[in-house]
Amino acid sequence: MEKQSGGKKLSKHWDTRHFKLYTSGILEYYKKVSDKKPCGQLDLSLCTKFEQDDNDKLLTKINDPASARIWTLRSNNAIDANKFRNCCKDLVGSALEKDVCDLSG
């Protein structure tokens, strides 16, 4: 999967990252599969919105109010994108209706 980067840079770009999603709802990402320490993480239980992009079905956007950031992740294919969203849905205990899940309750 890829993570959109470029918050402090002039242009946004895509970085390939390796993700681990834990049953606690923590999503960690690594630069390399062999890395022992993650280069970042996101707590999905704190996120308020989780949605499929309208224009690109491979994109998943996650609103993280804790960091005031919208994370944009791109899957390699539609099967992986759906698998990722379903895993997230199962962990946060909410159903995705029309590909949008508002987790704010």
Pairing of strands 26-30, 18-21: antiparallel
Contact 51, 99 (CB under 8 A): yes
**Does the residue 101 lie in any domain?**
no
Which residues span the domain enclosing 53? 2-96
80 in a domain, yes or no? yes
What is the Cα–Cα distance from 101 to 89, expressed in whole angstroms? 8
Q: Give me the number of domains the chain comprises.
A: 1
CA-to-CA distance for 75 and 59, rounded, in angstroms? 7
Does a structural domain hold residue 105?
no
pLDDT, one tens digit per residue, over 35-83 is 999 999 998 888 877 788 888 989 998 888 888 888 999 999 988 888 8
Q: Rounded CA gap, 71 and 19, in Å?
A: 13
**CATH number, domain containing residue 10:** 2.30.29.30
Tokens of 99: 């590909």
pTM of this structure: 0.78
